Amino acid sequence: MLEKYLPRQEFSSYEDFRANYRVCIPEHFNFAYDIVDGWAELQDDKPALAWIDDHQAEISRYSFGDMKRLSNQAANLFKAHGIVKGDTVLLLLKQRVEIWICLLALHKIGAIAIPASFQLKSKDLVYRFQAASVKMVISIDDPELLANVDAAHAECPGVQEILLVGKNIPPGRVDFRKELAKFSADWQKPAGKDYPCLHDPMLIYFSSGTSGMPKMVLHDHTYPLGHIVTAKYWQCVEDGGLHMTAVDSGWAKFGWGKIYGQWICGAVIAAYDFDGHFLAEKLLAVMQKFRLTTFCAPPTVYRFL
């Protein structure tokens, strides 16, 4: 897979790398179709994701074939709920498996995904809902987060629907998992101008560390190819190796380290969806259980470890 996009992978020096590193960008590149579905067509059972949380003893494992089928189901779900190319969908999913499923499904439709932190308060959500004209929200069922989402929704009638992920869905709310099960894993790929690719918008992050309120940073469908260099030459992931980046899905580092470049390189994403506050002892135990090949984390996490 990698050789399609990176014809030369070995370099004799940093100078050689700077002068000769080239990424091939296909005319109609779409990460979900070309990489995830592409791996599934080459080897349906090729491992893609290894996932664990604080409530299960065994690791759940998903192949690229699984991710293709689940994202097709989710694409059909989104389409049935009125999501079309260009719509914005905000994701508050921590490290639930649904974050990967939803991102891929939205990429297939051409809707714009907005990953966001579960730490956001109602005023932060109001700002994001309004600034990005958010049409739908997918959120975990955490009561405190849901209260903030509902408070923000009351001020933002443009948000048409909120779907919830979890085991404790309040009565009268839409259960994403139950809804997903209703839909087929056969997805009709868009054609012509409806096909999302290249410079069509794909992803929005709200930046931090700037003056004033966070600013929207828009990425198009070439963005995943930009992180080949991150995965292969910084994180040094291996095809078939287990890679963990310690980060929540609401941060841009998730895009750098937990989906795009890693799957292009054929690595298996290792995810630990922990409850509450970060505890180094728990992460170390999970790392030992996974028997990781490569690992990446912010400096603060390294210091705790």
Domain of 7? 2-304
Q: How confident is the model at residue 300 (pLDDT cuts 50, 70, 90)?
A: confident
What the block records as the tokens of 281 is 């002892």
pLDDT at 302: 84
Q: Find, among 62, 16, 39, 4, the residue nearest to 233 by Cα.
A: 16
Cβ within 8 Å of residue 134, ≥6 positions away: 88, 89, 90, 114, 128, 156, 158, 159
Q: What is the 3-state secondary structure (H, E, C) of the chain?
A: CHHHHCCCCCCCCHHHHHHHCCCCCCCCCCHHHHHHHHHHHHCCCCEEEEEEECCCCCCEEEEHHHHHHHHHHHHHHHHHCCCCCCCEEEEECCCCCHHHHHHHHHHHHCCEEEECCCCCCHHHHHHHHHHCCCCEEEEECCHHHHHHHHHHHHCCCCCCEEEEECCCCCCCCEEHHHHHCCCCCCCCCCCHHHCCCCCCEEEEEECCCCCCCCCEEEEECCHHHHCHHHHHHHCCCCCCCEEEECCCCCCHHHHHHCCHHHHHCCCEEEEEECCCCCCHHHHHHHHHHHCCCEEECCHHHHHHC
The number of distinct structural domains making up the chain is: 1
Span 76-104, pLDDT tens digits: 999 999 999 999 999 999 999 999 999 99
Q: Of the spans 7-11, 40-44, 55-59, which averages the highest pLDDT? A: 40-44
Give the tens place of pLDDT for each residue, 142-154: 999 999 999 999 9
When pLDDT is cut at 50, 70 and 90, the band that residue 276 belongs to is confident
Mean pLDDT rounded to a whole number for the chain: 95
- pLDDT exceeds 80 at position 105: yes
Q: What CATH code is carried by the domain that includes residue 242?
A: 3.40.50.12780
Q: What digits encode the pLDDT tens for the residues 7-35?
A: 999 999 999 999 999 999 999 999 999 99
